[in-house]
Every structure is written in structure tokens, then in C-alpha cells.
Amino acid sequence: LNGSYVPAEQAVVSVDDRGFLFADGIYEVIRVYRGRPFRLEEHLRRLADGVAALRIPFRDPAGLAGIADRLLEENGLRDGDAVLYIQVTRGAAPRAHAFPPADVPPTVFVSARPFTPYPAEHYERGVRAVTVPDTRWSRCDIKSVSLLPNVLANQRAKEAGAFEALFVRDGIVIEGSHSNLFGVFGGTLVTYPACNYILAGITRACVLELAAELGIPAREGPIPFETLWEADELFLSGTTTEDRKSTRLN
């Protein structure tokens, strides 16, 4: 936390932190396989884009790689299956909506924890999803910690006995509360275009890359709500929402 390596219970932020007061910050979640962060560069690039979009004066996203490395080491996860969490907020200052003075440093928090895979049943039998109206703002491409619509949507899913809630905007199924959605229609993969209405996942990009490599037809386009039932297959992609085979590697 802010340059110190401390046990989680001692990692304490101020009640004046703008992350706490305004959800004024961004985050990243990165999967670690056998001690190696997956697509770290892409995650750090997205984080750099996020701080730039929010105009948070955090100048060293690249330095987070070294911090992540040390955290994996200190937590005994050098060979393990883990998740890195990074959060950068606009720092702590008395509550006022506009930015604090330029000398207020951002709050930078990074953690490494063991990854707990989902039950095998999720992969063998599939998971359920509910659909919810997309009430989010129109900059979903920014990985903001302001996740209340996602929290409420996922809670709705949980209460319905489902794994994920799919956001529907203007009749189009866009993405999940914490994952991207793919459909297979007549042998073609379809996923919502990368734009301001979704968080274009690093895993999503990886799936599209693999499809291209394997010669599987894929296109970015809308999945209308009423066509969901015509899909040969629907699947979710995300940093913690992944193919179990990859966790088995470990």
C-alpha cells in the first residue's frame, strides 16, 4: 500500500480517500498461473489508459510489475495459482467534488492472493445467467471502481441461483456484471464490439486472437436478446471466469 509491504489487515486507507468517498479510482484484476502473471502488459496498459481517462496523476503503471513480483514472492505464490488486485484512487483529501490539490498523491494498493477455482460442475454442466437492464454510465470501457450497478446485478443473479447477470441495453445483450459474453451462432463466434458500452476484456481479446489462429469465424456484433435462445452455445470470458483446463495446468 503506497510503497509499503504490509499484512492485509494493516493495509489501511484514510476515510478521506476519494476511492471511499466518490469511487474515484480504477482497478485491475490479473490472473497468475504458476507464479506468472497472464497478459500483465495488457492489464498495465489498460490501467494506464484508465488513470489517463480519469486524470489521476499516477505516473508509474509500469512500476507495478515489480511490486506484483515481490508480492507473489512474499506471499509464497511464486509457483502458485493467484490473483493480483490493483487499485489506484485519486488519493485522500477533505471531501470536495473537484480534484484535490496537485500535490495529493494517488493511493496505490496492490495485493496477491491465492486463486480459488470455481467448482468443476460450472464447467461440466454450465452456469445459469439472468438478464438485467443496463443502468450503467456510458464509459463502461473505463475499469472504474464505481461498480454499484454490477454489484446489484450480480446480487440479483445470486438470489436467482445464477452465476452471472447479463446487461441488456436497447434489446442487445452486452456483457456480464464481471465478464464478457460470447455466443456461437451457426459456427461463428459473436461478441459485442469493443466500445464505450463494455469493458473490453483482456480475456475477450485473447479469445478473439485464438479464434483467428484456429480459423474459427468470429465477428464483433450485437447479440439481440431474442436471439439468445438460438445460440448453439453461450460462454463468458473474464480474468477470473475462465476455462478450467487452464487452472488444471497447475
CA atoms within 13 A on the CB side of 91: 15
Strands (E), the chain: 25-33, 36-37, 82-89, 107-114, 129-133, 164-169, 172-176, 180-185, 188-191, 218-220, 233-237
Q: Which is nearer to ligand PDD, 147 or 184 (CB)?
A: 147
Select which of 46, 136, 143, 178 is catalytic: 143
Cβ 207 to ligand PDD shortest distance, Å: 9
Cβ 95 to ligand PDD shortest distance, Å: 26
Work out the end-to-end distance of the chain between its first and last CA atoms, rounded to an integer number of angstroms.
29
Q: Which is nearer to ligand PDD, 57 or 133 (CB)?
A: 133
Q: Name the amino acid, one letter, at 37.
A: P
List interacting residues with ligand PDD (CB under 6 A).
Answer: 29, 150, 175, 178-180, 199, 201-204, 237-240
Cβ 42 to ligand PDD shortest distance, Å: 8
Closest residue to ligand PDD: CB criterion: 201
Whether 143 is a known active-site residue: answer yes
Q: Which is nearer to ligand PDD, 92 or 164 (CB)?
A: 164
Cα–Cα–Cα angle for 98, 104, 107, nearest 5°? 100
Residues marked as catalytic: 143
